[in-house]
């Protein structure tokens, strides 16, 4: 099974994190962290929530066990630094703007869920 990636601007979403009004701090925390295939992680933010993402190439992206395990490892690293909501493996959006729009549209629900999991393990 392959996930079809349409163009190089696509973004793979790992998690949604609480930024507590410090979206720029999230990118500082992500510096040096890598996602799948060594891609750099960065945040796409709306208000006090951010999606942690990496760019994915235009090649077919294999939905195989090794990638799923690597993806879970990224989330495990993120959970040590942030309050987060993990996103299902293979969640891809076409641009940072599309992700920002999704965060804005679902902002209230995301905030409520982040509050529920804050300080939980």
Nearest to 38 by CA among 17, 57, 18: 57
Locate the domains of the chain by residue range: 2-117
Predicted TM-score (pTM) above 0.75: yes
Phi-psi region of 90 (alpha: psi -120 to 50; beta: other; left: phi over 0): left
pLDDT for 45 equals 93
Residue with tokens 């804050």: 118
pLDDT tens string 44-95: 999 999 999 999 875 556 678 888 899 999 999 999 889 999 999 989 999 9
């Amino acid at each position: 099974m392959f996930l079809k990636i349409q163009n190089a601007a696509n973004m793979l979403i790992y998690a949604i994190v609480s930024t507590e009004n410090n979206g720029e701090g999230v990118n500082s925390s992500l510096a040096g962290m890598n996602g799948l295939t060594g891609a750099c992680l960065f945040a796409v933010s709306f208000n006090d929530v951010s999606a942690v993402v990496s760019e994915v190439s235009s090649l077919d992206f294999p939905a195989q066990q090794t990638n799923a395990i690597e993806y879970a490892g990224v989330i495990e690293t993120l959970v040590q630094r942030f309050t987060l909501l993990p996103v299902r493996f293979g969640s891809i959006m076409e641009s940072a703007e599309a992700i920002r729009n999704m965060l804005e549209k679902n902002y209230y629900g995301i905030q409520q869920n982040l509050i529920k999991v804050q300080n939980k393990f």
